[in-house]
Structure 1
Amino acid sequence: MPSPRAIAIAAKVEAFVRDIVIPYETDKRRTAHGPSDELVQEMRAKAHEASVLTPHIIADGSHLTQRETALVLRMSGLSLLGPLACNTAAPDEGNMYLLGHVGSPEQKDRFLAPLVSGAARSAFFMTEPAREGGAGSDPSMMQTRCRLDGNHWVIDGRKAFITGADGAGVGIIMAKSDAADGTGGACMFLVELPDPAIRIERVLDTIDGSMPGGHAVIAIEGLRVPADQMLGASGEGFKYAQIRLSPARLSHCMRWLGSCIRAQEIATDYACGRHAFGKPLIDHEGVGFMLAENLVDLKQAELIIDWCADVLDGGSLGTAESSMAKVAVSEALMRVADRCVQVMGGTGVSGDTIVEQLFREIRAFRIYDGPTEVHKWSLAKKIKRDWKAAQA
């Protein structure tokens, strides 16, 4: 069972999202590349007034447990705008988690504090252009390079699909050092944005549109970063990425579960209120059964999220468990979103409700933080390793 404090926080978040945030879903400041920063800050001001801004981080700087976070983030996800309003959205939530675990006290004051307060957004610069052979699901292919020059690091490279870069105030950049002194390898750097050496080439037109700033292609040319802005140690970037990766995968699942619960509510209301062929739609088995199947998928998604959260709370990195959760939840929620569209017919493919947008967002979620197939491949490798170990 969730803790009493998680239940209390989640109840406040749910009330805020339903009463205050949902009316913003028709606001014209929502664009193809995500809600405007003006809209985000307006909602965050109201979240602050309601004491639900960054609710997963306690006043003393500590985090809720993953199991507690699951309930709170699910409630923030009841609207696609909810995570933005409550400051529980990606990539900020994952970046706050990483900075909280790896950042120095000075780095936390300078880079983490504005994220926790909701005053700034952030971007995580890892993925690179696929046509140039850059890093994607395989981070070892990273081509962005960094080299030490006096007391600065100089970074050059290109990045792609960088969520929220346009308008972000804080950036975490991954680059690879070729140093031969044993400190080479992936590195992470903290930077203030915008910076003239970090140029947005274009913001991509993508199937989704819920994240401010969209997803950008970035050129980094001669970026000089003071050595004290390296996050952690040189060559440890992939290790730190793992600290961020499993919780970030899981928090995606938490938020989108909330969105699909809301879609189910909308589709249920439609099916119960709409009549055809002499009776409510829900009384036609073809419709009622789809909503029943949604209940099953939603509950299974909730349970695997809670299971994986417990694994992370136990101190494990949860790499395999988070892969299993990401596959199971993203595929289940895709089915839920698709059925909601189908139940609602023409209304389901219109912009009259959030169901149509949610369908597009969930389709992208199946790729965020690793496509389903990459996670299955990773799990298959683990099965083989475990089998070999059992033979020894």
Structure 2
Amino acid sequence: MDFTLSPEIDALRLKVRTFVADEIEPLEADPASYNEFENIRMDLRDRMRAKARAAGIYAPQMPTDRGGLGLPMIGQAALYEEANRSIFGPSCINCAAPDDGNMRLLSMVAREDQKDRWLQPIIDGAVNSSFVMTEPHPGGGSDPGMMLTSAEKQGDKWIVRGRKWFISGAAVAKHFILVARTDPNPEEKRRHLSAFLFHRDQPGWKIVRRIDNMGPDEHGGVCELEFDGLEIADADRLMEVGDGLKATQIRLGPARLTHCMRWLGLAKRCMEIAAEYTSRREGFGIRLADRESVQLKMGELAHDIQIGRLLVMHAAWMLDQGDFARKEVSMAKVHVADTLQKAADVAIQLNGARGYSKDTILEWIYRYARCARIVDGASEVHNMVLARFYAKEGQDFWRWGS
């Protein structure tokens, strides 16, 4: 496992670093750059996307024949980390959630005609997308076996009824990927779900509410949806009947890892802000950076970030080899989520009142970081996964290679 970047990927990484520093980061200081949900205004985002496309750093994860860079997962890890040096970076180069995971899934499993209709507009930035899976109690969350939203076959159409919530991006999305129960047998736990594609303008469903949260929100927030007779043509079914669980696994594994790639960029930005401030702030005749207590915090944080980067690269390398890397992705997800929150907390503490204020982006990152231990599987769920792997593998849990 050699994580040395190829000259081509490293050159792209440096291009992203320069673009983010010169074009995107300055936008953070201007209140006019933000929408009412504390994210970059979408019209401004679209202008930056045009610049990113012209710079040759747009859609790193997508195939070159569809306008992307066609990078392997290890290349995406390097670029996503650089992109999220700015809180606006991933959205501006089109590698932000939830579109990132949705594009990846459609690119991997959709038919060519489905890619033309449902995927290409997301790549082009013409539409936003949403993945519709999570349900309120007693429906499915981390356990998809509990899913209650149903899709019933009637002729050449499927009729959808049920309720979903905490659906990322739904408020602005036009293209949706829906997972629903197609086998009513409650004992069936593997082939009970199927995946479907639908457009915002189709009747038979509605957004009940955009759920308020700590924020800041990704574009489209998180919403509660109700389905009351949505009709989806069988031609808009994604994969085969009963492949819904497979579709979620294909999407969510890499999506968890790309979250980690971006979070590492934010964690490094927090440390950078802390380092700059402590290097010039003095108290009681000594710079903060020269105090042992500050050095201990900074050293520990640098250590944790590097562990996270190695975990992410290992999982990315395994995905590039064709492995599902479930164990490796779970380890990265738990560690990097904790590291992001720790980085924001340490940086705020070292900046004092300045960090708690909106004079820096640290308080933005701090609030955003809290969701990292919940989204795409709570840390406790991933630790359960790791415990099951250990119970099954024993000492081979730590084997070398895949």
Out of 4, 7, 12, the residue aligned to residue 7 of structure 2 is 4
1:160-198 Cα shifts (integer Å, max 9, x gaps):
111110111210001001267999610111112243323
Give the Å deviation of 1:347: 1.0
One-letter code aligned to 1:88: C
One-letter code aligned to 1:50: A
| 1:323 alignment partner in structure 2 | 330
1:140 and 2:125 equivalent? no
1:20-41 Cα shifts (integer Å, max 9, x gaps):
1112224353323644432322
1:173 and 2:192 equivalent? no
1:46-74 Cα shifts (integer Å, max 9, x gaps):
22232222133242247311111100111
Distance 2:121 2:129 in 1: 10
1:82 and 2:89 equivalent? yes
One-letter code aligned to 2:308: A
| 1:14 alignment partner in structure 2 | 17
Distance 2:283 2:209 in 1: 47
One-letter code aligned to 1:73: Y
Q: Please list, as runs of the form range in 1=range in 2, the aligned pairs for 1:47-86 lying within 5 A after superposition.
A: 47-61=52-66, 63-86=70-93
| 1:151 alignment partner in structure 2 | 156
The 3 A distance-change label for structure 1 pair 199 and 36 is farther
1:385 and 2:388 equivalent? no
One-letter code aligned to 1:86: I
Q: Which deviates more, 274-283 or 45-54? A: 45-54
Q: TM-score, normalised by structure 2?
A: 0.92
Q: TM-score, normalised by structure 1?
A: 0.94
Out of 266, 269, 277, the residue aligned to residue 273 of structure 2 is 266
1:161 and 2:166 equivalent? yes
Distance 1:224 1:53 in 2: 35
Identity score, percent: 38
Give the Å deviation of 1:379: 1.3
Give the Å deviation of 1:389: 11
Residue aligned with 1:208, SS: coil
- Contact between 1:13 and 1:72, CA under 8 Å: does it hold in 2? yes
Distance 2:324 2:352 in 1: 42
| 2:381 alignment partner in structure 1 | 374
Distance 1:58 1:139 in 2: 30
Distance 2:52 2:123 in 1: 13
Q: Which deviates more, 18-27 or 252-261? A: 18-27
- Contact between 1:177 and 1:185, CA under 8 Å: does it hold in 2? yes
1:193 and 2:193 equivalent? no
- Contact between 2:311 and 2:328, CA under 8 Å: does it hold in 1? no
1:354 and 2:357 equivalent? no
The 3 A distance-change label for structure 1 pair 182 and 273 is closer
Residue aligned with 2:198, SS: strand
Out of 45, 50, 54, the residue aligned to residue 40 of structure 1 is 45
Residue aligned with 1:238, SS: helix
The 3 A distance-change label for structure 1 pair 290 and 184 is closer
Distance 1:35 1:203 in 2: 18
Give the Å deviation of 1:14: 1.4
1:271-320 Cα shifts (integer Å, max 9, x gaps):
11111111211112222221121111111111111111111111111111
Residue aligned with 1:200, SS: strand
1:91-126 Cα shifts (integer Å, max 9, x gaps):
111111110111000000001101111221110000
- Contact between 1:33 and 1:205, CA under 8 Å: does it hold in 2? no
Distance 2:38 2:241 in 1: 34
Q: Please list, as runs of the form range in 1=range in 2, the aligned pairs for 1:25-36 lying within 5 A after superposition.
A: 25=28, 26-32=31-37, 34-36=39-41
Distance 2:193 2:362 in 1: 40
Out of 201, 211, 221, the residue aligned to residue 218 of structure 2 is 211
1:282 and 2:289 equivalent? yes
- Contact between 1:96 and 1:112, CA under 8 Å: does it hold in 2? yes
Residue aligned with 1:213, SS: coil
Residue ranges of structure 1 left out of the alignment (5+ in a row): none
Distance 1:166 1:22 in 2: 26
Give the Å deviation of 1:227: 0.3
1:121 and 2:124 equivalent? no
Residue ranges of structure 2 left out of the alignment (5+ in a row): 398-402
Give the Å deviation of 1:388: 12
1:198-224 Cα shifts (integer Å, max 9, x gaps):
311111111231411111111111110
One-letter code aligned to 1:205: D
| 2:400 alignment partner in structure 1 | none
- Contact between 2:130 and 2:177, CA under 8 Å: does it hold in 1? yes
The 3 A distance-change label for structure 1 pair 344 and 194 is farther
- Contact between 1:147 and 1:179, CA under 8 Å: does it hold in 2? no
- Contact between 1:121 and 1:168, CA under 8 Å: does it hold in 2? yes
- Contact between 2:130 and 2:167, CA under 8 Å: does it hold in 1? yes
The 3 A distance-change label for structure 1 pair 267 and 183 is closer
Give the CA RMSD over aligned residues. 2.1
1:252 and 2:259 equivalent? yes
Distance 1:210 1:24 in 2: 17
Aligned length: 388
One-letter code aligned to 2:142: S
